[in-house]
A and B are shown apart, each in its own frame.
Chain A
Amino acid sequence: MLIRPKEGILDPQGQAVERALPALGFEGAANVHVGRLVELDVDSVESVPEMCERLLANPLIEDYEVLAVE
């Protein structure tokens, strides 16, 4: 699961990274956002969205995306 700060919510962590990149000579990086990755093994991905809704993400402030690998 990829969990990201919701669009439009101030993401100071992303901004701090965005400011740090040019300091290292990497120009042109914009819209930097920092989220997190949750990995797990499950028999069926059916229950994963509910896991995200109830625990792994806070839907008020975060969006999530389920990336299933067989």
Chain B
Amino acid sequence: MKFGVVRFPGSCDEVDAVLACEQQGEAEILWHGDRDLKGADVVVVPGGFSYGDYLRVGAIAQFSPVMDAVAEFARAGGPVLGICNGFQVLCEAGLLPGALLPNVELRFVCRQVDVEVANADTPFTRQCAEGDVLSIPVKHTTGRYYAPETTLAEIEERGQVVLRYAEDYNPNGSANGIAGVCNAERNVMGLMPHPEHAVDPLTGSADGACLFASLAAHAAEPAAA
């Protein structure tokens, strides 16, 4: 199976994302100016500072040619994972509910956090079990998940909260401790923590690998998700 990893001007985590994907299958960079997804089974929108984060984080990247193709792929049911800036881009593009606001402390946070798997019945977490605690780093300034009350209630009800910061680990003031959400169809997910930086015990944790392994398993056998 093949992962496609988007590269915008200002992306900076796409190489780690490719390395994480290559543990599970093939991976190729998708250039922001192309509409070609190069036959990818899974698209990863990585972290960084796309288009300089000008205006608002993720605001300008949503209109790049590659995002047209990614939105079309997502609407057809293709799995799309947005990490950090990628999460912000997917929210701005309307592919995920809610928005990311500046951290409540107004500071850049860079630390290892524990996140709990709140829903293991998604293409992104099927190799995990509900309640699993994953140690994954966060590094962001604009990661406070926000959605209006009615939307929050809806996404909680529908099981769209996929990952939640463990108690005392919410690094940014996110509503309901939400670290990662998916759309109602469960084929698009965004998260602020960086699973691609946690795929090798040498760097402290390999817990992030289960997301990429889940996606590879989903690509091989979607019906089992």
Chain A contact residues, CB within 8 Å of chain B: 9-10, 12-13, 16, 55-56, 58, 60-61
Contacts and interface: CB of A to CB of B under 8 A. Distances in A.
Contacts of A61: 99, 101, 146
Interface in B161-209: 173
Contacts of A56: 55
Interface of B: 55-56, 59-60, 63, 92, 98-99, 101-106, 146-148, 173
Contact of B56 (A10, A12, A58): A58
A55 B102 contact: no
A9 B105 CA distance: 15
B173 A10 contact: yes
25 contacts: A9-B101, A9-B146, A10-B101, A10-B173, A12-B102, A12-B104, A12-B105, A12-B106, A13-B102, A13-B106, A16-B106, A55-B55, A55-B60, A55-B63, A56-B55, A58-B56, A58-B59, A58-B92, A58-B99, A60-B98, A60-B146, A60-B148, A61-B99, A61-B101, A61-B146
A16 to B, nearest CB: 6
A60 B106 CA distance: 20
Nearest to B151: A60
A24 B185 CA distance: 52
B152 to A, nearest CB: 12
